[in-house]
Structure 1
Amino acid sequence: MSEKSDKNQKPWDPRTLAAEAPREYPQIDVHSWVEAEDPRDRAKAGIAARTKAPLEKHALWQVREGRRDVIGLLEEQSAQRVPDLIPLRYARMSVSPFTFYRGTALIMANDLARTPVTGIPVQCVGDAHIGNFGIFRSPSARLVFDINDFDETATGPWEWDIKRLAVSVEVCGRANGIKPKARRAAVARCVHTYRNRIDQFSKMDYLEAWYDHLDVEHTLDRYESTQDGRRNRTLRAAAMKAALKDSDHAAAKLAHYEGDRLRFNSNPPELVPIDDLKVYADKDALRARIDTLLENYKGSLYDDRRHVLEHYRYHDAARKVVGVGSVGQRAWVAILTGRDIDDPLILQMKEATASVLERFCGASPYATHGERVVQGQKLIQSTADVLLGWSSFMAEDGHKRDYYVRQLWNGKGSIDIDHLNDLALSDLGRMCAWSLAHAHARTGDSTAIANYLGGSDEFDQAIASFAVSYADQTEADYAVFKSLIKKGELPCAK
Structure 2
Amino acid sequence: MPSPRTSLLAFALVLAACAQVPADAASARKSWVVQQIHDHNHPYAATASGELDTKLATMAGGAFAFYRGSAHLFFQDMKTLPASAYATTQTGYTWIGGDAHLGNFDASRDSSGKAVFKVADFDEGYLGQYVWDLRRLAASLVLAGHDNGLSDSDIGAAVDTLVGAYVDQMNDFKGTSGESTFRLTKDTTTGVVDDTIGAADGKTRDKLLSKYTAVSGGARKFQALSNLIAVPAATYSGVTSAMAGYVSSIASSKRYPAAFYTVKDVRQKLGSGVGSLGRARYYVLVEGASASTSDDVILEFKQEAVSAVAAAAPGRLPASAYDSHEGLRVARTAKAQVSNAEVLIGHASVGGLPFYVHEKSPFQEDFDPAKLDSAGKLNTAAGYLGQALASAHALADQDYDSAVVSYSIDKQVSDAVVSKSGLKSEIRAFAFSYADQVELDWEAFVEAYNAGTPLY
TM (normalized to structure 2)?
A: 0.85
CA root-mean-square deviation: 2.1
Is the Cα–Cα contact under 8 Å of residues 297 and 389 in structure 1 kept in the other structure?
yes
1:174 aligns with 2:124: no
2:194 counterpart residue number: 236
After TM superposition, the structure 1 = structure 2 runs for residues 9-88 of structure 1, keeping only pairs within 5 Å, are 60-62=11-13, 63-64=15-16, 65-66=26-27, 67-81=30-44, 82-88=48-54
Residue 416 of structure 2 aligns to a residue whose secondary structure is helix
Q: Which of 425, 429, 443 does residue 479 from structure 1 map onto?
A: 443
Change (3 A) 1:312 1:438: closer
My pick for the range that moved more, 116-125 or 293-302, is: 116-125
Matches within 5 A, 1:79-478: 79-81=42-44, 82-117=48-83, 118=87, 119=89, 120=91, 121-202=93-174, 204-205=175-176, 208-220=177-189, 224=190, 232=191, 234-268=192-226, 270-274=227-231, 283-308=232-257, 310-321=259-270, 322-338=272-288, 339=290, 340-363=292-315, 364-365=318-319, 366-367=322-323, 368-394=325-351, 400-421=352-373, 422-442=375-395, 443=397, 444=407, 445-478=409-442
For residues 307-346 of structure 1, give each alpha carbon's deviation from its aligned partner in whole angstroms, at most 9, with x where no partner exists: 3453343211111132111111111001123321222111
Q: Distance in 2 between matches of 1:416 and 1:359?
A: 29
Does the residue aligned with 2:308 lie in a helix, a strand or coil?
Answer: coil
1:105 and 1:162 map into 2 onto residues whose CA distance is: 14
**Aligned counterpart, 1:39:** none
Residue 384 of structure 1, CA deviation:
1.1
1:26-71 superposed Cα distances (whole Å, 9 cap, x missing partner): xxxxxxxxxxxxxxxxxxxxxxxxxxxxxx9897233534422123
Taking the aligned partners of 2:378 and 2:454, their CA distance within structure 1 comes to 32
> Is the 1:103–1:325 contact (alpha carbons within 8 Å) kept by the matching residues of 2?
yes
Deviation of 1:80 (Å): 2.3
Offset at 1:101? Answer: 0.8
Please state how far the C-alpha of 1:99 moved relative to its aligned partner.
Answer: 0.8
Q: Deviations over 1:153-182 (max 9, x none)?
A: 001111111100111111110011111110
For residues 59 and 33 of structure 2, what CA distance do their matches in structure 1 show?
15
Contact 1:371 1:390 in 2 (8 A): yes
Hey, what's the Cα distance between the residues in 2 that align with 1:201 and 1:273?
48
Partners of 2:116 and 2:185 within 8 A in 1: yes
Distance 1:292 1:214 in 2: 37
Higher Rg: 1
CA spacing shift, 1:349–1:327, aligned 2, 3 Å: same
Q: In the superposition, relative to structure 1, how do residues 114 and 299 fare at CA in structure 2: closer, same or farther (>3 Å)?
A: same
Distance 1:473 1:393, change over 3 A: same
Q: Distance in 2 between matches of 1:359 and 1:85?
A: 25
- Whether the aligned pair in 2 keeps the contact of 1:127 and 1:161 (CA below 8 Å) is yes
Secondary structure, aligned partner of 1:307:
coil
Give the Cα separation in 2 of the matches to 1:114 and 1:79. 25
Give how far 1:185 is off. Answer: 0.5
SS of 1:74's equivalent in the other structure is helix
Which secondary structure state, in structure 1, belongs to the residue aligned with residue 273 of structure 2? coil
Structure 2, unmatched stretches of 5+, are 1-6, 17-25, 398-406
| Contact 2:172/2:178 (<8 A) preserved | no
How much identity, in percent, do the aligned residues show? 25
CA–CA separation in structure 2 for the residues paired with 1:168 and 1:481: 18
Shift of 1:428: 1.9
Aligned length: 409
What stretches of structure 1 move > 6 A for 4+ residues in a row? 56-59
Give the TM-score of the pair, scaled to structure 1. Answer: 0.78
Distance in 1 between residues matched to 2:10 and 2:98, nearest whole Å: 20
User: What's the CA shift for 1:383?
Assistant: 2.5
**What runs of 5+ residues in structure 1 fail to find an aligned partner?**
1-55, 225-231, 275-282, 395-399
Measure the CA separation in 1 of the matches of 2:9 and 2:134.
11
- Aligned residue type for 2:339: S
SS at match of 2:121: coil
Change (3 A) 1:462 1:488: same
Higher helix fraction (1 or 2): 2
- SS at 2:43 equivalent: coil
Q: What per-residue deviation string (whole Å, max 9, x for no partner) do you get for residues 193-231 of structure 1?
A: 1122222222x32xx2341322312223xxx2xxxxxxx
What residue is the counterpart of 2:4 in the other structure? none
1:362/1:235 CA distance change after superposition, 3 Å: same
Cα deviation digits, residues 122-152 of structure 1 (max 9, x gap): 0011001121111111111111111110000
Q: Secondary structure at the match of 1:150?
A: coil
> Counterpart amino acid of 1:68?
S
- Evaluate the alpha carbon distance shift between residue 61 and residue 446 of structure 1 in structure 2; reply closer, same or farther with a 3 A threshold: farther
Give the counterpart letter for 2:32 in structure 1: D
